[in-house]
Amino acid sequence: AVVSTQSTGEAEKAAAAEADRLALEELAKEADKATRNLLISQKEEEMAAKDQKAAEEALKAAKAADDQAKIEEAQRLKKEADERARTSKMIKRLNQAIQSRDIRELEETIGDAKKKKVLGVEEHVKEAQDLVDLLYTGMQLENACRDRSIEDIETAISRIKNAGYETVLAKEVNEAENLLVKLKRLEFLKRQVMELKQQTIAELKSYSQPPPIVKFVMTATFLILGHDAKEIKQWNQMVVLMGKTGKESLKRRVQGFEPDTMSWDVAEACRDILAGMDTGSVADVSAGAAAFYIWCDGMVEERLSLPKVVPKELKELRRASLNREESNKNLTKGRTVAVLSRRSRSRDRIEAPSSKVRPDRSKSTGKSTGKSPAANRKRR
């Protein structure tokens, strides 16, 4: 198993190195091409400016000679020179935007070229638009990876491959595919617990003196979820935690757990607790404990594969992602409540009596308010 893990790790490193090499080669080619095109367009702009100046001088000379034929010819040449200057200037702007790889600058320049209907820039506009599409596609993949959304990552990778960008974005695609494998594995591990029936968890809670293997597995489970060892020293303390509901329920906490939130020391401690166990030996004693063992073992392995100190930036991104998910849930809930409230008010209006005169409740119930009728009316 150790040899297999090492081979897999070496293969992943080799694939990542190859992807990096291809990406660097492609970027170098693109950079060289962009620089070359920019230099050419600068030269063409200079030549067009010279032609424009020569055409202006020729027109002045024709007007001075008062030769109508020469004036018309000079005007025609000046018009052509002006159009070439306009075209070369726009091509230079497009090439500058392409070299900058700045989406805002690219979109503004493309918009200007189309709005001003500059002739002879169609190929350059297409190249700039293709780059915008490439950059947006790369951003989409980056956002999907940041949010750790399996569906979004798969969609982004598919779009990259369909658009023919997989060579240019080889490094990003390789990293995303590796992340996808991890996320699917984590999803599988969580599903082992999420698919447990309540009856199976009740079986774990029913132990007054659990088998040692069950206690060890559940101890590791609660340590991973962030509990201090003192809080789960006794089995009855763990039973209380297993009985919680709502957001504090065991299954909900497992579903929302991310391995990078676990400390390195806890991961090592849990690895020692679970040492010598396997799924079969745990399942022989308890099916419920076996599901938690699979989850614990996977979380520990995943955490120990990360840096010992998880970068602060990663934690902040995870927190922002979770906050976004919670905000979306609250927004959806708020909209649902608002719709139900509107429906309820509509139903009340339909079912309300048509008479606008309210009955005197004090008379109908036979109770006295202790005040005069006028005071009662005012109070109502």
pLDDT at 330: 52
pLDDT of amino acid 363:
43
**How far apart (Å, rounded) are the C-alpha atoms in residues 244 and 252?**
10
CA dihedral for 208, 214, 216, 218, sign (positive or negative): negative
Q: What is the pTM of this model?
A: 0.54
Q: 294: Cβ–Cβ under 8 A, 6 or more apart, which residues? A: 189, 192, 279
Share of the chain above pLDDT 70, in %: 72
- The strand ranges marked E within 67-191 are none
State residue 146's pLDDT score.
86
Q: What does the buried/exposed string (b/e) look like for 268-283 if buried means 16 or more CB atoms within 10 Å of the residue's CB?
A: ebbbebbeebeeeebe
Residue 32 in this model has a pLDDT that exceeds 80: no
Contact between 75 and 63 (Cβ < 8 Å): no
The model's pLDDT over 203-258, given as tens digits with 9 standing for 90+, comes to 899 999 999 999 999 999 999 999 999 999 999 999 999 999 888 999 999 988 98
Q: How confident is the model at residue 365 (pLDDT cuts 50, 70, 90)?
A: very low
**Burial track 287-299 (b if 16+ CB lie within 10 A, e otherwise):** ebbbbbbbbbbbb
- Rounded CA-CA distance 44/75 in Å is 22
- Identify the pLDDT of residue 49: 81
Confidence grade of residue 173 (pLDDT, cut at 50, 70, 90): very high
Higher pLDDT pick, 294 / 73: 294
- Which of residues 83 and 290 earns the better pLDDT score? 290
Instruction: With beta carbons less than 8 A apart as the criterion, state whether 92 and 40 touch.
Output: no
Name, in order, each residue with C-beta under 8 angstroms of 290's C-beta and a sequence gap of 6 or more.
279, 282, 283
- The per-residue pLDDT for range 155-164, each reduced to its tens digit, is 999 999 998 8
pLDDT of residue 67: 79
- The predicted pLDDT at position 56 comes to 84
In the predicted model, is pLDDT for residue 340 greater than 80?
no
In which band, very low, low, confident or very high, does the pLDDT at 263 lie, cut at 50, 70 and 90? very high
Q: Mean pLDDT over residues 131-152, rounded?
A: 90
What is the C-alpha separation between 48 and 29, in angstroms, rounded? 28
Give the Cα separation of 93 and 284 in Å (integer).
Answer: 71
Check whether 195 has a pLDDT greater than 60. yes
The residue that leads in pLDDT, 253 or 322, is 253
Average pLDDT over residues 301-314: 77
